[in-house]
């Protein structure tokens, strides 16, 4: 029976009660009074009971007294659900899961997400801080909607959109002899103790590959890497975004020969449509990061 009830007819009944008469309700609804009366009568026929006392302009029957608050609840629930569906469809509500490499998560995402939340206050965001390889894995397995990564190899399951380039430089203590240079070539690094890290692979296809091959240490954890650099155990190479700008003990010197960059891009699955909220996030990131890279 409830599935046969029309929301519009319930609204009519509520309006008659609120306005005090069929005439006033019809005027408020921009309907003719006969049309309104017919719609309410049809509802009563479906229910098998009168809602209004016959001969009365607005007096409810006991059954009507029982129904009206429930009609209000049903109409309210319908309107809330309809509004929720519409907001999800236009991307103003929902939940977005993003995975990104640590340097982007700490240096770029805070300001961007603050702006996004101000624009879409009803969208919830989960940000996952992972290494580049795992970012791609999380996207491919559907654990997150979008990924921002620095590793890209052709993958038939993923779509890559380039965002910007992050230049590689040499990181050393401020009292190191190399710290006084404006830029450095790889030849200047020969004889230095190079500490490899996860981004050192970017040098492998360049003239500086032998520096990586002959490195003294490999440290994957950024906190440990910084501690080793501060202790004077050696130097390393890092993308500009990964360099801790607030560290007073270390400095970043751009590497010009070879000039190496880390490509940062946005990835998503090819065979799965993004939810509207994730589509809004994708458009926002492409707008902000591609524009900022120009």
Range of the domain at 271: 94-163+263-293
246 and 179 within one domain: yes
**pLDDT tens readout for residues 220-273:** 888 999 999 999 999 999 999 999 999 999 999 999 988 989 999 999 998 888
Whose tokens are 């998503």? That residue is 268
Contact by Cβ (8 Å): 276, 88: yes
111 and 248 within one domain: no
129 and 118 within one domain: yes
User: ω into residue 258 within 30 of 0, thus cis?
Assistant: yes
Q: Considering the chain, what is the average pLDDT of its residues? A: 89
Residue 201 contacts by C-beta under 8 Å, 6 or more apart in sequence? Answer: 212
We report the CATH number of the domain holding residue 204 as: 3.40.190.10
The secondary element (H helix, E strand) that includes residue 95 is: strand 94-100
Tell which of 57, 89, 121 closes a domain: 89
268 and 149 within one domain: yes
Residue 63 contacts by C-beta under 8 Å, 6 or more apart in sequence? Answer: 47, 49, 50, 51
29 and 71 within one domain: yes
151 and 283 within one domain: yes
Contact by Cβ (8 Å): 278, 96: yes
The tokens describing 108, both together, are: 């770029």
Residue 293 has pLDDT above 50, yes or no: no
Query: pTM for this structure?
Result: 0.69
Residue 168 has pLDDT above 50, yes or no: yes
pLDDT value of residue 169: 94
52 and 170 within one domain: no
As for how many domains the chain has, the answer is 3
CA geometry: angle at 198 spanning 239 and 253, to 5°?
30
Tell me which residue of 171, 166, 169, 202 sits closest to 183, measured CA to CA. Answer: 169
8 and 84 within one domain: yes
CA distance 159 to 270: 6
280 and 214 within one domain: no
**pLDDT tens readout for residues 43-88:** 999 999 999 998 776 789 999 999 999 999 888 888 888 877 776 7
Tell me which residue of 131, 136, 206 sits closest to 168, measured CA to CA. Answer: 206
The C-alpha torsion from 228 through 229 and 231 to 232, rounded to 10°, is 120
Residue 207 has pLDDT above 90, yes or no: no
CA distance 147 to 125: 13
251 and 114 within one domain: no
Residue 1 has pLDDT above 70, yes or no: no
**pLDDT tens readout for residues 99-110:** 999 999 999 999
Tell which of 89, 105, 137 closes a domain: 89
254 and 244 within one domain: yes
């Amino acid at each position: 029976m409830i599935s046969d009830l029309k929301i519009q007819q319930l609204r009519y009944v509520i309006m008659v009660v609120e306005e005090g008469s069929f005439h006033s309700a019809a005027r408020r609804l921009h309907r003719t009074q006969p049309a309104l009366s017919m719609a309410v009568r049809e509802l009563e026929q479906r229910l098998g009971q009168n809602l209004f006392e016959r001969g009365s302009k607005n007096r409810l029957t006991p059954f009507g007294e029982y129904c009206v608050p429930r009609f209000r609840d049903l109409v309210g629930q319908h309107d809330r659900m309809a509004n929720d569906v519409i907001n999800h469809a236009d991307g103003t509500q929902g939940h977005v899961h993003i995975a990104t490499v640590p340097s982007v998560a700490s240096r770029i995402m805070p300001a961007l997400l603050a702006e996004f939340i101000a624009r879409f206050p009803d969208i919830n965001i989960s940000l996952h801080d992972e290494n580049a390889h795992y970012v791609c894995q999380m996207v491919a397995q559907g654990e997150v909607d979008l990924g921002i990564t620095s590793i890209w190899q052709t993958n038939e399951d993923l779509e890559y959109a380039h965002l910007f380039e992050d230049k590689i430089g040499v990181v050393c203590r401020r009292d190191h002899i190399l710290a006084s240079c404006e830029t450095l070539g790889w030849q200047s690094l020969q004889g230095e103790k190079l500490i490899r890290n996860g981004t050192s692979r970017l040098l492998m296809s360049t003239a500086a590959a032998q520096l990586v091959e002959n490195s003294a240490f490999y440290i994957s954890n950024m906190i440990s890497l910084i501690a080793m650099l501060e202790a004077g155990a050696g130097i390393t190479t890092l993308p500009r975004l990964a360099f801790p700008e607030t560290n007073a003990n270390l400095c970043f010197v751009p590497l010009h020969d070879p000039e190496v960059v880390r490509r940062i891009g946005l990835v998503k699955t090819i065979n799965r449509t993004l939810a509207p909220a994730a589509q809004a996030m994708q458009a926002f990131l492409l707008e902000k990061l591609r524009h900022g890279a120009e």
